[in-house]
Structure 1
Amino acid sequence: MTHPSASRPSVAIIGAGPAGLVTARWLKARGFAPVLFEASRDLGGHWNPNGLHSATWPGMVTNTSRVMTAFSDLDHPPGTPTYPGREDMHRYLDRYSDRFGLRRAIRFGTRVELLARAEAGGWEIRSRRGGETRTERFDRVVVASGRYLRGTIPQVPGLETFSGKFGTGHSGQFSGVARYRDASVLVAGCSISALEIATTLAQAGAQVTISYRRQRYVLPKLIAGVPAEHVLFTRAAALEGARGPAAAAAGLKAQILQAAGTPEQYGALEADPDVFAAGITQCQGFLPAVAEGRIAVRPWIASVSGRRVRFADGREGDFDSLLFGTGFALSLPWLSPEIARTVELSAQGLTLFADSFHPDLDGLAFVGLYDLVGPYFPVLELQARYIAGCWDTPELMPVPAEMAEGLTAAQPARPMNMMALDFAQRAGVEPQIPRRPSLEQALLFGPLSPVSFRIDGPDPLPCAEEMTLAAARAFGAVHGPGYTPEQARRRNALRAPAEPAAATP
């Protein structure tokens, strides 16, 4: 590990949530001494219960397992539930910060007001803490302020007239079930947060209706006792997906139908036969609650008049509250107009190379500002390692021409395993499976645990192989040496020729 040196370029990180903390950890490992700007008075981002931008609520738990909601250097303590709660996650990030001495580098209660190009080179940050405004120059800056800060509420005719006693709001403002007991609540949206909130409210005794434009396929959190992301977001699935969209869609849909069936089997709406057109969401209790009649399902809202809501199928209902779980818009209001134009900032995302760099913004990087399907922590760590490696070793940094050719505009949500493997290959940390036959089953069909990327390449962990096996066996996804017939078939299929590209007319 490299030790911080005064000769290293100065670095600022905007945000002290998971993305900012893991980036700081890996920059420190490369000899940098980052300064973190955090608007809230504590670290953790969304997992800080008192954070300024937290979209979590009391009693909320993760939708990804403790194995996949952690970084490679630190496990959750023994006794942590399979799905940690909000307070568990906040304590975990606090321990992670202490482990790497990050807290003393964080400027709490410091809001960034402007990030702009400095006249003398590098980058200028204007920040405010209390009544004091301060402007500083840094050689390099990482934007790690979070993707889910500004909730979006779509336009609905008459929405401004809604007169239910609890009003309208976004899932990011949901503060728990207490006020809604015995209330009639309409939840709008088919995101994970919308389904979780609807299910939680129904379990607490509220009268719940859910409405959405598009029925997604709904995965349970657990598939035969194994966390869904351990089953679906594997290396084998990513390699199969690289063979072509048709193969990826067919394989994914087969797994979904085997694990959960179709939504209409439970009484929900019918999903598009194309799994990618329909989309995927997740909730352990939503479909059973629909099947039991505890959640009513409706198509999208046609109009609102007072307490009365009319749906696209002509049915109507009166409600005390209307909660929108309809996604978030990327919000970086403090980017200078020049930077915003260069990265083509929009509500959907940014135009970048490898979701990290832009050829015209030397010394500026972005972490975690993309939509993912699946766990974020492994991908955040891999991206942080990639950026730290590029800034530590100039020859690893892509040249401007390569970046310009590889610029990609904001994309729809992508499977985390595809992004994880992409960052791992860029960082040179993807394990060499052929060299490790005893790990082949775990690496192909086990979870993409962060520690599985500490086996080969820079910064290996001495115990990484044993920990990778332990993560793969923790919930029975991988039982031991050898393969199930299905795993053997898929392993052999990965060695077959890729499906041919479609002919160009």
Structure 2
Amino acid sequence: MQHPKGRQVAIIGAGPGGLVSARWLLQHGFEPILFEAGDRLGGQWNLCSAASATWPGMRTNTSRVMSAFSDLDHGIDVATYPRQDQMLAYLERYAARFDLLRCIRFGTRVERLEAAEGGCWRLRSRSAGRMREESFSQVIVATGAQAVPQLPDIPGMANFTGALGIAHTARYKGAEPYRGRSVLVAGCSISALEIASDLAFGGANVTAAYRRQRYIVPKLIAGVPAEHVLFHRAAALAGEALPAEALAEGLKAAVLRAGGAPDQFGAPAPDANVFAAGISQSQGFLPAVAEGRVTVRPWIDRIDGGTVRFTDGTVATPEAILFGTGYGLSVPWLAPDIARTLNYDGRGLDLHAHTFHPDLRGLAFVGLYNLVGPYLPVLELQARWIAYTLAGLTPMPSPTQMAQGLAACRAMRQRGQQPVLHDLAVSLARQIGVEPDLARWPELERALLFGPLSPVSFRLQGPDRLNDAPTRTLAVAQAFGAIRGPEFTPEELRLRSLIGSREAVVA
């Protein structure tokens, strides 16, 4: 077995989380080694990956501003919402720019990660049929949260006789095979609604079924990407200053202004409490319902051969059923004692700020959670946090902070609650000292409070600040019209006054 070298860090996975982790480790003098089972980087964005749930022509549900890292923008030829192939090309450009390809061991599958002597981690991997065992003092797990498609347990499902069968939406490869056929799409996730829309406008006869009606936000709100309007610093600060009831009412009002109520389009009415109902996103789903392209039903009670029976007594006879019912984690190579420490149950992990565990020193995690909002800005903040702690720029959280973080994580898991972009991003940025001090940036105050939480806005100050960050932060805030000038609107002034003066909201 090879013994650890002081500056080597093992990274499991060469998707976005693994790549950005390697970039920041290299920046601070470490030698990352990425273990990638496939023959190409990209994770979910690599169609050839067995774990990929993307399809040719698929578009992101987050804008090009928020589907990027702080050091590299998308090309000028990329539309507001990049395609799958453009995201893969972006990640390959990113890897080339920071010389990451030399760090990746392609075709290398991790078989086991366990504790070793001396506080190190023993990692066994297989490549070209040969097993290799190495020891590392630091390991980062960046295999992603959407690894194992999950199917519900519905009576009669195994005996469905529809001509096109049953599949998870992870296996969806486009609307063409379903043209002119009847399809049931089950689930109210973003992917389920987007695929239902894609099928409906692609000539299929579509029925959508789900357990509860969520509020549905369009991807664009008056031409502005939804995450630029809904996920910003002011929302994070309001969450710290206002009671839950006020937050719920404010969020509900914003969602209704953006996309209307589902029952206005002919879908069921959601729960009055927006947190109880939940929020999903789709540009075309509700219009497709209003136009009669999609029929909405409640959840499936049972399946009798080719007949699907819903909980309201109605029936359908689809030729295909696609389940957009989520994903589970897949870390089968974790030693049992590590899995127990993390309270791993196939769905989540107990971690402080989704990154560290106090009893697993030298082990860190990037991106193993389901996030409401764009991932890449948060992945980069996690990667910087890990790199900064290893480099001694940022202290590790104290035992008390870790204990509080684990308790908060467990409570969220018990509620079935997912972290939200603005809350997690601002929290991570504070941990590493890169959340901008609004008092230092009066000319950017409106852009920082009510513009998008762009990755470059976390390069204004602190370690690795960029000289052009102010200009770029303002440019991306103005790119789609979310912010057009420095003057606050009356509504923004009201929220600003609720969350405090400029001095009170300094991170």
TM-score, reference length from structure 2:
0.95
Q: 1:453 aligns with which of 452, 458, 480?
A: 458
Task: Measure the CA separation in 1 of the matches of 2:399 and 2:497.
Answer: 39
Contact 1:14 1:20 in 2 (8 A): yes
Contact 1:358/1:404 (CA < 8 Å) preserved in 2? Answer: no
1:367 is matched with which residue?
A: 366
Q: Give the Cα–Cα distance (whole angstroms) in 1 for the partners of residues 393 and 372 of structure 2.
A: 32
Structure-to-structure mapping, 1:324-339, within 5 angstroms: 324-339=323-338
Is 1:475 aligned to 2:474, yes or no?
Answer: no
**Is residue 2:316 matched to residue 1:312?**
no
| AA at the equivalent of 2:131 | T
Q: CA deviation at 1:404?
A: 3.3
SS of the residue aligned with 2:151?
A: coil
Amino acid at match of 2:18: G
Query: What SS does the aligned partner of 1:383 have?
Result: helix
Q: Please give the per-residue CA displacement for 1:359-395, whole angstroms capped at 9, x wherever unaligned.
A: 1111000111111111001111111111111111176
> Structure 2 counterpart of 1:182, which letter?
G
CA distance, structure 2, for counterparts of residue 59 and residue 268 of structure 1: 28
Q: Tell me the equivalent position of 2:190.
A: 192
Q: Residue 375 and residue 184 in structure 1: after superposition, are their counterparts in 2 closer, same or farther (change >3 A)?
A: same
Q: What do the CA deviations read for 1:459-490 (whole angstroms, capped 9, x no partner)?
A: 00110000000000001110012112222222
Answer yes or no: is the 8 Å Cα contact 1:61–1:84 preserved in 2: yes
2:233 to 232, 235, 239: 235
More deviation, 309-318/399-408: 399-408
Equivalent AA in structure 2 for residue 406 of structure 1: G
- Distance (whole Å) between structure 1 residues aligned to residue 331 and residue 475 of structure 2: 40
Contact 2:385 2:394 in 1 (8 A): no
Instruction: Please give the residue correspondences for 1:41-440 in structure 2 after superposition, counting only pairs within 5 Å.
Output: 41-243=39-241, 244-393=243-392, 396-407=395-406, 408-409=409-410, 411=413, 412-440=417-445
Cα distance in structure 1, aligned partners of 2:5 and 2:312: 66
Residues 5 and 136 in structure 2, CA contact (< 8 A), matched pair in contact too: no
> Contact 1:451–1:468 at 8 Å: present in 2 too?
yes
When residues 251 and 401 of structure 1 are mapped into structure 2, their CA distance, relative to the original with a 3 A threshold, is: closer
Give SS of 1:348's match: coil
Question: What code does the residue aligned with 2:497 have?
Answer: N
Question: How far is the alpha carbon of 1:317 from its aligned partner?
Answer: 1.0
> Contact 2:388–2:394 (CA<8 Å) still a contact in 1?
no
| CA positional deviation for 1:454 | 0.2
Query: What is the distance in 2 between the residues matched to 1:352 and 1:278?
Result: 26
1:487/1:404 CA distance change after superposition, 3 Å: closer
1:223-281 superposed Cα distances (whole Å, 9 cap, x missing partner): 01000000000101111111232222111111001111110110111101100110000
Letter in structure 2 aligned against 1:349: G
Deviates more, 1:110-119 or 1:242-251: 242-251
Other structure's SS at 1:386 match = helix
Percent of residue pairs bearing the same amino acid type: 57
Given that residues 39 and 52 in structure 1 are in contact (C-alpha distance below 8 angstroms), is that contact kept between their aligned partners in structure 2?
no
Q: Indicate conservation of the 8 Å contact 1:22/1:381, yes or no.
A: yes
Most deviating of 120-129 and 142-151: 120-129
In the aligned structure 2, how far is the partner of 1:157 from the partner of 1:84?
39
Q: 1:14·1:142 contact (CA, 8 Å) conserved in 2? A: yes
Question: Matched residues in 1 for 2:193 and 2:315: separation?
Answer: 21
In structure 2, C-alpha distance between the alignment counterparts of 1:269 and 1:130, rounded to whole Å: 53
Partner deviation per Cα, 1:144-184 (whole Å, 9 max, x = no partner): 00100101111101101101111111011112112111111
Aligned-pair distance for 1:7?
A: 7.2
CA distance in 2, matches of 1:196, 1:163: 25
> Deviation string for 1:55-77 (max 9, x for gaps)?
00111100000000000000001
Give the 4+ runs in structure 1 shifted more than 6 A: none
Q: Could you list the per-position Cα deviations for residues 295-339 of structure 1 after superposition, in whole angstroms to 9, with x for gaps in the alignment?
A: 000000011011110001101111110100001111211100010
Equivalent in the alignment of 1:3: none
- Looking at structure 1, the residues matched to 335 and 22 of structure 2 have their Cα atoms a distance apart, in angstroms, of 23
Deviation at 1:496, TM superposition (A): 7.3
Partner of 1:352, secondary structure, is coil
Q: State how far apart, in whole Å, the 2-side matches of 1:101 and 1:153 are.
A: 40
The CA distance in 1 between the partners of 2:225 and 2:382, in whole Å, is 24
The answer on whether the counterparts of 1:188 and 1:210 sit within 8 Å (CA) in structure 2 is: yes
Where 1:16 maps in the other structure, the secondary structure is coil
Structure 2 counterpart of 1:487, one-letter code? E
Mapped contact 2:6–2:137 kept (Cα < 8 A) = no
3-state SS, counterpart of residue 275 of structure 2: helix
- Counterpart of 2:117 in 1: which secondary structure? coil
> 1:503 maps to which residue?
none
> How many angstroms apart in 2 are the aligned matches of 1:126 and 1:222?
46
How many residues align? The count is: 492
Contact 1:241 1:247 (C-alpha < 8 Å) held by counterparts:
no
Q: 1 CA distance for matches of 2:476 and 2:227?
A: 12
Structure 2's unaligned 5+ residue stretches are 503-507
1:66-117 alpha-carbon deviations (Å, 9 max, x no partner): 0000000000011210000000000000000001000110011111111111
1:406-440 CA-to-partner distances (Å, cap 9, x unmatched) read 32326321210000000000011001111211000
Amino acid of the residue matched to residue 268 of structure 1? Answer: A
Q: 1:395 to 1:102 in 2, by over 3 A?
A: closer
1:189-221 per-position Cα deviation (integer Å, ceiling 9, x unaligned): 000000011000111100000000011000000
Report the AA paired with residue 453 of structure 1. Answer: F
Q: Which amino acid aligns with 1:242?
A: E
Give the Cα–Cα distance (whole angstroms) in 1 for the partners of residues 61 and 393 of structure 2.
Answer: 38
The offset of 1:129, in angstroms, is 1.2
- What is the distance in 2 between the residues matched to 1:406 and 1:173? 36
The whole-number CA distance in structure 2 between the counterparts of 1:75 and 1:8 is 33
TM-score by length of 1: 0.95
CA distance in 1: counterparts of 2:467 and 2:434, whole angstroms: 14
Provide the C-alpha distance between the structure 1 equivalents of 2:359 and 2:48, rounded to a whole number of angstroms.
37
- By how many angstroms is 1:400 displaced? 3.9
Q: Which amino acid aligns with 1:291?
A: A
C-alpha change, 1:161 and 1:460, in structure 2 (3 Å) is: same
Q: Is the 8 A contact 1:25 1:102 kept in 2?
A: yes
Query: Aligned partners of 2:216 and 2:53: how far apart in 1?
Result: 22
